[in-house]
């Protein structure tokens, strides 16, 4: 046994009442009532108790009860000196009771002190207190030496067993509290992650939709400044209105995705390509449902890549390839290049940075840059 074990207090969880079942509490109260009954019986089972002796006996019993309650409180607070003083008071009361002829009450007090000290005090303090109490008990007890020896050993073993049981209960209470705290932290973390996911979905939808609308509205503004005819300006305004309508549809899709209701990815890409002139889509590999986060990442990157083509390479031919691998899905968006025109600097939008961030959050990667013909965006997401 190490030095720390000798100076270590039983935990507050072990010394408290938390975690004690109702039957054990009832049993503990029965034991207390039994001890009280033995004290009272020992106090009054004497022919010499008359007059002031009765008052003294009652005062002694009340004082012993108050000292025992104080000992419980001070040990619960891990206050060593007050606990030892109260224990000394109880041992002293037993000595006084023995001297006054209350032998049974004195024996009960000594036994209680021995067991309680081992159960609630650090072993370095409990062993001397228990030794003194059991020595006094053995010196006064009239039984044969073998019976007295067995009784004192049994009392010491009972006190230490109660200590081990209390420590086990205290450890269980601490583990339960830690588990509850871990579950609460996990629930809070999940809630924060879900809020971040919802915020990201809303941001992505609005960024894509508003960016596309801004492209057409900026074009309409430039046409007005150049004095273009009414039909061209109206065409851009109608396109912006269509993008607003598409944005509402995408918002509904995002809400459906948050509820776990996603249209097949291939159908979504086909609809996306149908809305973009000069684009085609190819699907390779064994088609299968994807996790919601991975599916949304592919959808958002495809949308943003096509928006970037319209902004920076208007009129370019776009090829979209979706490939299902064993452990990942790959989206490749390539354009044939084109003239940036006057709309290159319009809009802020989601952008490559947002697409890369979305991919990295899922443990994937995104590469974007020019190739031999135009510009290519490649997304890889593990599934």
Question: Which CATH number does the domain housing residue 212 bear?
Answer: 3.30.565.10
CA distances in angstroms from 157 to 119, 131, 151, 168, listed in the order given: 10, 13, 10, 16
Q: Tell me whether residue 11 is in a domain.
A: yes
pLDDT surpasses 60 at 182: yes
Domain match, 327 and 199 both: yes
**Number of domains composing the chain:** 2
Same domain, 51 and 113: yes
Same domain, 218 and 122: no
How far, in whole angstroms, is CA 190 from its chain's centroid?
A: 9
Range of the domain at 373: 184-382
Q: Render pLDDT for 257-267 as a digit per residue (tens, 0 to 9).
A: 666 656 778 88
pLDDT digits (tens, 9 = 90+) for 73-86: 898 888 889 999 99
Q: For residue range 35-86, what is the model confidence (pLDDT) as tens digits? A: 566 655 655 555 455 555 566 667 777 888 888 889 888 988 888 899 999 9
Q: How far is CA 326 from CA 290, 298, 321, 323, 382, in A?
A: 12, 17, 16, 10, 9
**Domain stops at, among 90, 109, 142:** 142
Q: Are residue 330 and residue 256 in the same domain, yes or no?
A: yes
pTM above 0.75, yes or no: no
Answer for the pair 275, 303: CB distance below 8 angstroms, yes or no: no
Q: What is the C-alpha end-to-end distance of the chain, expressed in Å?
A: 53
Whole-number pLDDT of residue 330: 93
pLDDT digits (tens, 9 = 90+) for 357-380: 878 888 899 998 887 778 889 999
For residue range 333-359, what is the model confidence (pLDDT) as tens digits? 988 876 654 444 444 344 677 778 878
* Residue 251 lies inside a defined structural domain of this protein: yes
Q: Which of 110, 142, 174 is the last residue of a domain?
A: 142
**104 plus 192 within the same structural domain:** no
């Amino acid at each position: 046994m190490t030095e720390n074990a000798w100076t270590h207090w039983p935990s507050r969880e072990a010394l408290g009442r938390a975690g004690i079942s109702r039957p054990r509490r009832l049993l503990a109260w029965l034991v207390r009532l039994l001890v009280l009954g033995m004290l009272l019986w020992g106090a009054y089972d004497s022919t010499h108790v008359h007059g002031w002796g009765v008052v003294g006996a009652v005062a002694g019993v009340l004082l012993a009860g108050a000292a025992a309650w104080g000992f419980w409180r001070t040990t619960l607070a891990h206050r060593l000196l007050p606990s030892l003083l109260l224990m000394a008071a109880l041992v002293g009361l037993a000595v006084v009771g023995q001297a006054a002829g209350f032998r049974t009450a004195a024996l009960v007090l000594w036994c209680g002190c021995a067991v309680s000290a081992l159960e609630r005090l650090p072993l370095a303090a409990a062993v001397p207190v228990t030794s003194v109490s059991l020595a006094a008990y053995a010196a006064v007890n009239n039984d044969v030496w073998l019976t007295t020896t067995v009784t004192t050993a049994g009392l010491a073993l009972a006190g230490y067993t109660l200590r081990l049981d209390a420590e086990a209960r205290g450890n269980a209470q601490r583990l339960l509290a830690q588990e509850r705290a871990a579950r609460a932290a996990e629930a809070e973390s999940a809630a924060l992650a879900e809020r971040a996911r919802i915020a990201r979905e809303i941001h992505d939808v609005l960024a894509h939709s508003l960016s596309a609308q801004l492209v057409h509205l900026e074009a309409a503004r430039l046409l007005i400044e150049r004095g273009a005819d009414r039909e061209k300006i109206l065409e851009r305004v109608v396109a912006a209105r269509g993008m607003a309508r598409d944005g509402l549809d995408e918002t509904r899709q995002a809400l459906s995705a948050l509820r776990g209701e996603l249209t097949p990815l291939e159908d979504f890409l086909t609809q996306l390509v149908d809305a973009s002139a000069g684009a085609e889509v190819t699907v390779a590999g064994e088609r299968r449902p994807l996790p919601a986060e991975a599916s949304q990442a592919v959808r958002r990157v495809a949308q943003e890549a096509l928006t970037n083509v319209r902004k920076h390479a208007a009129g370019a031919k776009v090829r979209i390839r979706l490939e299902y691998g064993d452990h990942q899905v790959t989206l490749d968006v390539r354009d044939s290049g084109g003239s940036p025109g006057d709309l290159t600097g319009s809009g802020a939008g989601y952008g490559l940075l947002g697409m890369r961030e979305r991919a990295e959050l899922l443990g994937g990667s995104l590469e974007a840059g020019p190739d031999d013909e135009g510009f290519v965006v490649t997304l890889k997401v593990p599934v």
